[in-house]
Structure 1
Amino acid sequence: MSVQLQFFPSRQISLYMVRLFLTRTLAVLALLVVVLQTLDLLGQSGDILAYPGNGDAQLWHYVGLRAPQIIARFLPFSVLLGTLVMLTSLNQNSEIVSMKAAGLSAHQILAPLVAAALGVALVSFAFNERIVARATASLSAWEAVDFGPIPRDSGVKSNAWVRDGNNLVTAAIVAGRGTNVQLRQVEIFNRVNNSLTTIVQAPRAHYDAASQSWLLDDARQFDVARGTSRPIGTVRFGHDIRPDQFTLAKVDPDALTFNQLRAAIADLRDAGRPTASLEASLWHKLAGPLSALLMPILGSVAAFGLARSGQLFLRAVMGMALGFAYFVADNFSLAMGNLGAYPPILSAWAPFFLFLLLGETVLFRTEE
């Protein structure tokens, strides 16, 4: 078969380029994670150690929860920078020129990188689903209790609040579903004529299905007018508050897997709540990892044309600018989707297809 008709014309070249691409990407990712995790830990270590009893174990636990978030966020950046480093090196050594002299087109040279980037995107999606979502949920719950003990529950949510008539009820931790919902660090702000009168605080609360109300344990009441506090023991409240109002009060899309977020959106839709911003985040769970697929195409401007122009550094900067412009457009579009200005599908997928067309246009106009 003719070289021009083969998508991967050489097994040796393909494996060679895939190996270079993956090693450069992983090296850049490791460097970014070490630097950013160190800076983040320096900023958070004081708050972690401020809780009585916390020590080195809690610092390492924080690293274990925070590192997956950093990896997920900066993996596409690493693919972009790894692509630029690799293609720039191949050009400096005239390897791109040799490939084109052997009859390979620009797309054939990039084909192994695109295939490897697709594999990176699939691994990224699985990593987000299995590790990042759980780590985000656990870290959010841990931060909500100032790095103290949190209930061991996979469905934990943090910083939820609901209205009970004229009063406000907040809970730092919400764990469980249905009638088994448990609340931690509960505060009830009792108001009369929009004026705060008392604040009831309790370390925990649970739903009593028999009376269809909530029970506070070891509660204390603070009188705003007198400035005094006194224990009031067990208190019943919230006869009109359903358990799902706490579980649906705050849905963090980053702390849920794709299927969990889709189920939460269905629950909110059934309850008559707006879901546009969550739908945008749902679609972005697919579009985000696939951004790795764009990086070899956007960074390809650094690979070709050097023999004619000789401006290697300028082309590398152009490739980096195209890649970072995608991330800016992606974040802007997602923000517009969260505000309801863009439809959810458009806000998640428009930047991907726009820059895919832009990268292909640049590649065709310059090399094909």
Structure 2
Amino acid sequence: MPDKPQPDWDPRSDTVLSNQIAAYDRMRSRCPVAFSDYLGWSMFRHQDVIRALDDHETFSSVVSRHLSVPSGMDPPLHTAYRRLIERHFEPERIESFEPLCRTISASLVSGLERGVEIDLVPQLAQRFAVRIQCSFLGWPDSLHVPLLRWVRKNHEATLARDTITMAAIALEFDGYISQLLEARRRAGPAAPEDITSGLLREMVGDRLLNQEEIVSILRNWTVGELGTITACVGILGHYLAENPQVQQRLRKSPHLLPAAIDEILRMHAPLISNRRVATRPVEIGGRKIAAGERVTLMWASANRDEAVFDNPDEFRLDRDPEQNLLYGRGIHVCPGAQLARLELRVLMEELLKRTDKIALVPGGPPTIAVYPASGFSSLPMLIL
């Protein structure tokens, strides 16, 4: 491997972490393919990110020492697992989940205190993410409190960049999943008919999925869902509070919510980046990347690229949805995109229907989440 390049930027600097979105915007114009010791090669332009997504032979998803099904796999191994997982996100299953999703959303919104300062992140976003995920996977209500506690511990360890604690917290989560699977095995035919039980019967090739594979699938679904849905709710709530004209427009025309949600989350990405590794030498954006070097795809920048999204901070509902990388693209496009869209639409419908106004607290600025998280760590708001 050639000598390591000199860093073009520091993703962990205070300047970047104080406002990640603005920092990535600057990098996109100043150094669109940039090297750092922390992230390897980061791609900020829409065209470069798409090139990497479409060329999975050059930009491999096998980036972790740990099994990651199927997001950390390449074809042909990826193909069989991906097909298996897609069966659990068929449209009929998603549509049938809407009534329960609405009940959960209505309950949480109704429970928010009116006229006093609340923190939307722990009081709505995190609670919604945990309850909705447990309900979809068929997990018991008794897991709500432990998972909420786990989410907060994981968030604190991530903020502190405490890798030892983060590893221990990850093992704790795997323990929850293992207990759920063991309970279903003991129950045998009496086990609940849900996705988690279904995975115990799934075949890959000519064999059943093993414990490590099932734990990996459920970990990827749950950790990804808890983090991104929490970020999404915070980002949406903040945008609507900061833009009362948009808020009123959506109150009067809730049918616009699906497009509006995707557009707001295009402007402020709930997922900052994904990783790849180069399998062979490649030149992109005028930079030479050697085989084996790490690559970071910066969704939070690509979805704001002026070459694709004219005036990227302008809220517009007429943009080409095919260009929006909110749920990824290609063979690794998010299999749960339809589920996430339903969950966010229903929650926003209930939030707007059951309130008269949501507003930011004067003098109480939100705390912006820092890499690798997105959205807000705290979001003081008034609900009227």
Q: Report the TM range for the smaller structure's normalisation.
A: under 0.3
Q: Which has the larger radius of gyration?
A: 1
Structure number with greater CO (CA < 8 Å, separation at least 6) is 2
TM-score (norm 1): 0.26
